Structure 1
Amino acid sequence: MNDRTCILSRDSGPREGLIRLALSPDGDVAPDVRAKAPGRGAWIGVSRAELQAAIAKGKLRGALARAFKGAPLSIPYDLPQRIATQLERDALDRLGLEAKAGHLLIGAERIETAARGGQLHLLLHASDARPDGASKLAQAWRVGSDREGTPLKGLVLPVTRTTLSVALGRENVVHAGLTDAQAAKRVRDALTRWLHFIGPEHAADPCADPAQGSTAPDITADPTAGSASTGI
Structure 2
Amino acid sequence: MSDPVRTCILSREEAPREGLIRLALSPDGEVLPDVRAKAPGRGAWIGVDRAELEASGKKLRSALSRAFKTNDLRVPDDLGQRIADQLQRAALDRLGLEFKAGNVVIGGERIQNAARAGQLHLLLHASDAGEDGAGKLAQAWRVGSDMEGSGRKGLTLPIPRTILSLALGRENVVHAGLTDPRAARRVGDALDRWLHFIGPDPASRPCETGSQGASAFPPGGSQNTTNSTEGL
Contact 1:119–1:179 at 8 Å: present in 2 too?
Answer: yes
Instruction: Tell me which residue corresponds to 2:41.
Output: 39
Instruction: Tell me which residue corresponds to 1:191.
Output: 191
What is the rounded CA distance, in whole Å, between the counterparts of 1:117 and 1:129 in structure 2? Answer: 23
Instruction: Tell me which residue corresponds to 1:211.
Output: none
What is the rounded CA distance, in whole Å, between the counterparts of 2:26 and 2:225 in structure 1? Answer: 25
Deviation digits for residues 5-34 of structure 1, max 9, x if unmatched? 110011111111110000111111000000
Deviation digits for residues 73-105 of structure 1, max 9, x if unmatched? 110111111001101101100100000000000
Residues 1:127 and 2:127 aligned together: yes
Deviation digits for residues 154-205 of structure 1, max 9, x if unmatched? 1010100001111110000000000000100010001011011111232775
Instruction: Tell me which residue corresponds to 1:218.
Output: 213
Contact 1:91–1:190 at 8 Å: present in 2 too?
Answer: yes
- The alignment's C-alpha RMSD in Å is 1.7
Instruction: Tell me which residue corresponds to 2:230.
Output: none
Instruction: Tell me which residue corresponds to 2:178.
Output: 178
**1:143-162 equivalent positions in 2, closer than 5 A:** 143-162=143-162
Instruction: Tell me which residue corresponds to 1:4.
Output: 6
Instruction: Tell me which residue corresponds to 1:169.
Output: 169
Local SS of the residue matching 1:91: helix
Local SS of the residue matching 1:200: coil
How far has the Cα of 1:227 moved from its partner? Answer: 2.7
TM (norm. structure 2) is 0.91
Contact 1:27–1:71 at 8 Å: present in 2 too?
Answer: no
The amino acid of 2:222's aligned partner reads A
Contact 1:45–1:231 at 8 Å: present in 2 too?
Answer: no
What is the rounded CA distance, in whole Å, between the counterparts of 2:223 and 2:119 in structure 1? Answer: 23
Relative contact order, higher structure (CA 8 A, sep 6+):
1
Local SS of the residue matching 2:48: coil
Give the % identical residues. 68
Structure 2 segments unaligned to the other structure (5+ residues): 227-232
What is the rounded CA distance, in whole Å, between the counterparts of 1:97 and 1:221 in structure 2? Answer: 20
Local SS of the residue matching 2:53: helix
Local SS of the residue matching 2:120: coil
In the TM superposition, structure 1's runs of 4+ consecutive aligned residues that sit over 3 Å from their partners are 219-224, 229-232
The amino acid of 1:23's aligned partner reads L
Contact 2:214–2:223 at 8 Å: present in 1 too?
Answer: no
The amino acid of 1:218's aligned partner reads G
Instruction: Tell me which residue corresponds to 2:229.
Output: none
Query: Structure 1 residues 135 and 188, CA, compared in 2 at 3 Å: closer, same or farther?
Result: same
Query: Structure 1 residues 116 and 101, CA, compared in 2 at 3 Å: closer, same or farther?
Result: same
What is the rounded CA distance, in whole Å, between the counterparts of 1:108 and 1:138 in structure 2? Answer: 11
